[in-house]
């Protein structure tokens, strides 16, 4: 990556640092003025190594910004009832302002039912149907963290969204759908592609802003992007111990105006937005 143009790289770590600095300041203010320390509870079911790593990174971020964090590890064999009981206990605790259920869950558990059980006011991930509905009508409070991180980066890099053609590849509830809503809220023209799209490249070639979230290694090649596009690579996959994004970074960067690397792009921004949400939730209780 040494010969790529560093000016074309969206530095997710730098954006995240800026967000974390704002959060830290807000946390200190809330502590000194109201005596409230924002608190995050994470729930991790089973022993998935990637999930464990993500939870660890979130706790480290809490340490950096002064948020109180506790983890609730549950065994792989946890029942739906046990999980819902824990969520109910955390909902009732005044010292916990944000609850994060680390996905994916083991097969016997109903993910959506568990997410729905989290108090919408403590939904740090922004996945509760109430918060998703708010997003659709233009009220962006607790919303999914990754798309909100993308929006923050667009703002930091002074990319005008209004009137631009934004293309999203991937239509998950975590990234694709909320990303589309946030871009529509800012008056972009939005196309959403997915596994059933007949010819994805005909859309990606037209994109001023391209967000890719599929988990398919190097799905987006140089000939699929427009000269001067701004590209966010949200996907991540692993092969022989090496991490890859959905975008063929080395070649696509030649045409793009700006592009996020993997790692060091969208990941850090996502975690910093999570910290922002825990603070927001705590401020609402003050």
Residues annotated as catalytic (active site), given as ranges: 58, 102, 125
Exposed / middle / buried, residue 241 (Cβ in 10 Å: 0-12, 13-18, 19+): exposed
Enter the tokens of residue 167: 């293309």
- Determine the 3-state secondary structure of 68 from DSSP: strand
Q: Yes or no: say if 226 and 255 are a contact pair by the CB < 8 Å rule.
A: yes
Give the three-class secondary structure for 217.
coil
**77, exposed or middle or buried, with CB in 10 Å at 0-12, 13-18, 19+?**
exposed
What element of type H or E holds 28?
A: helix 12-34
Q: Which two tokens stand for residue 242?
A: 């090496």
Token pair for residue 257?
């105006």
């Amino acid at each position: 990556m040494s010969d790529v143009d560093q000016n074309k790289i969206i530095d997710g770590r730098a954006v995240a640092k800026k967000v974390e600095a704002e959060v830290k300041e807000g946390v200190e203010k809330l502590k000194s003025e109201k005596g409230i320390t924002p608190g995050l509870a994470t729930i991790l079911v089973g022993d998935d190594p990637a999930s464990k790593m993500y939870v660890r990174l979130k706790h480290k971020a809490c340490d950096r910004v002064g948020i109180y964090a506790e983890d609730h590890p549950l065994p792989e064999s946890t029942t739906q009832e046990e999980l819902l009981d824990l969520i109910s206990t955390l909902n009732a605790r005044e010292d916990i302002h944000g609850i994060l259920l680390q996905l994916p869950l083991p097969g016997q558990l109903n993910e959506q039912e568990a997410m729905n059980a989290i108090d919408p006011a403590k939904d740090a991930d922004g996945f509760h149907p109430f918060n998703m509905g708010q997003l659709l009508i233009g009220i962006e409070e607790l919303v999914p963290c990754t798309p909100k991180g993308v929006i923050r980066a667009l703002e930091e890099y002074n990319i005008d969204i209004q009137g631009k053609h934004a293309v999203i590849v991937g239509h998950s509830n975590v990234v694709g759908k909320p990303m589309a809503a946030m871009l529509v809220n800012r008056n972009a023209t939005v196309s959403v592609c997915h596994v059933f799209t007949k010819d994805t490249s005909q859309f990606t070639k037209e994109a001023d802003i391209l967000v890719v979230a599929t988990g398919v290694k190097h799905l987006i090649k140089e000939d699929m992007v427009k000269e001067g596009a701004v590209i966010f690579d949200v996907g991540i996959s692993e092969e022989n111990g090496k991490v890859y994004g959905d975008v063929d970074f080395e070649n696509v960067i030649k045409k793009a105006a700006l592009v996020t690397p993997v790692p060091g792009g969208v990941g850090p921004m996502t975690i910093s937005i999570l910290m922002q949400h825990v603070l927001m939730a705590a401020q609402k209780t003050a």
